[in-house]
Structure 1
């Protein structure tokens, strides 16, 4: 049996069990490809990550991000949870206050603050308006009328997000989606609070990857911030997510003077231990 250090990190909450957990496997380069997917299915979490040596000297580490049904080029809460686990295991970044993660979308910067980690929102792979056919499909999947969708934009930074604005935060909390109708769409809905600690309520529905609703979603909040921050929303604000799932996720959005959007939250290790997997089968090599 091969053994690997393992952590499960709660992300976007200072309170254990109230954020979004991610499973992190350290030094995973010797794990066979089928076992990566099998372990991600077995954890049954929205994402499991595997820490690997970087392929470029510009990065501090490389990560692969797997859901129970697919591999993602980027995801937000796994980025923060993996950075937390890497630091806790003794990782030392090249820069004192910034970590550079290598993943499917390239290099992602992670900033170390006094109270939380934050990643720089990656460039959108797809942006712009949503066509009428997709709006009708989204409305059906949310069990709403097309007229209930106040606005919509593609805000895809890897997982395929389309962002939808509803009338207010209460409208977001009332949605009871139809996962079959949503199909393979990745839909994030948001509604504004009139006052209080949080500016918006966010929910994430992810079809086709084994997750119906994600508790707290960094990549979606990054895309929403690129769409709404500095316009409909302040340049810096706090988003609430996970309320319907009895979580208390808090996503902190901050915008630098140069326009860089940082997506941050508290992280805490809830489980640490050892993962044991069978050694890969080694077939004899024939010569001649």
Structure 2
């Protein structure tokens, strides 16, 4: 019976059983595993995402590269943040020891990796789009989250960090409001702009924290967030973090801003996510997004399949 090696890692943390779990399954270079089998393996792990890491022939190159595919339990994703950071930490700490740079190829594009002191920094493919044709309303938020009825909603925006990944961002005034958000079972169903009406949609609730500015006009902003999709909550969502960071940077016109984001606190799985956003000269469009974080190995073994 064929089998594949796997590891699980906890991402956006240095502490086991915190952060967001990720399964990484290695596919040998001489093996072609059908997509339906990959989907079945992802469902078996039953984690928010599973990465299939294709073995590389250039792991000893100055800048090694790997191809990855990312699956949720029910769908394949073009890109996702915590699988990118988790896979980057895994390959750099085990397959490319001593290297500081690498490239991961996913459906959304090529991701340049820098790695130092246990932290992976990934230059994220992006095509940020703010949806405007049918704005999501406060009434729709209350339908999705009945316990927020009457709560102050400071801002609501629907944003795609890349095509196929969509998030409704709802700003709340304080941690008490954030704490009453729940997995209500109501999946977000925004009316997306016509050319972007495809892919996954989640809801993100956030509270802004401290903001500071350096003499060089670089901004640092902390925030805490939760990502809910129906009956599921994610303890760390890198793609949602990137979309939120890009939206907030464009909203305020911050040319250079570093976000320190905390997620998963209410689940007992605190995740620490870094996102650095650079806007172009107009300060209205994103030039670069860098996602950063750590990961720690938890399990390893083999998964058998027919």
Q: Give the shorter-chain TM-score range.
A: 0.7 to 0.9
Q: 1:225–1:172: structure 2 CA closer, same or farther, 3 Å change rule?
A: same
Q: Which moved more, 1:133-142 or 1:59-68?
A: 133-142
Partners of 2:149 and 2:103 lie apart in 1 by 43
Deviation at 1:139, TM superposition (A): 3.2
* Alignment root-mean-square deviation, CA: 3.1
**1:193 & 1:83 partners in 2: Cα distance?**
29
Return the offset for 1:160.
1.6
Partner of residue 168 from structure 2, selected from 162, 165, 181: 162
The range that moved more, 143-152 or 15-24, is: 143-152
Equivalent residue of 2:257, what SS?
coil
159-168 or 243-252, which deviates more: 159-168
Residues 36-65 of structure 1: per-residue CA shift (max 9 Å, x gap): 1111111110001101268xxx98111111
Partner of 1:140: 143
User: Hey, what's the Cα distance between the residues in 2 that align with 1:12 and 1:20?
Assistant: 7
Q: TM-score, normalised on structure 1?
A: 0.81
TM-aligned CA deviation for residue 128 of structure 1: 4.0
Q: Distance in 1 between matches of 2:3 and 2:92?
A: 20
| Mean CA deviation greater in 114-123 or 268-277 | 114-123
Gaps of 5+ in 2: 57-62, 190-199, 212-219, 281-286
Query: Residue by residue, what CA displacement relative to the aligned partner does 1:55-83 show, whole Å, maximum 9, x if unpaired?
Result: xxx98111111111111111000011112
After superposition, residues 1-288 of structure 1 pair within 5 angstroms as 1-27=1-27, 29-52=31-54, 60-91=65-96, 96-129=99-132, 131-132=134-135, 135-143=138-146, 144-145=148-149, 148-156=152-160, 157=162, 158-180=164-186, 182=188, 185-193=201-209, 199-207=222-230, 212-229=232-249, 231=252, 235-255=257-277, 260-278=288-306
- Give the SS at the match of 2:206: strand
Query: TM-score scaled to structure 2, two decimals?
Result: 0.77
Q: Any unmatched runs of 5+ in structure 1?
A: 279-288
Distance 1:224 1:266, change over 3 A: same
1:68 alignment partner, SS class: coil
Distance 2:205 2:132 in 1: 15
Give the total of aligned pairs.
270
Q: Distance in 2 between matches of 1:45 and 1:165?
A: 27
Say if 1:257 and 1:66 are closer, same or farther in 2 by CA, change over 3 A. Answer: closer
| Deviation (angstroms), 1:20 | 0.2
Distance 2:127 2:89 in 1: 25
Higher strand proportion: 2
Call closer, same or farther: CA 1:117–1:150 in 2, change over 3 Å: same
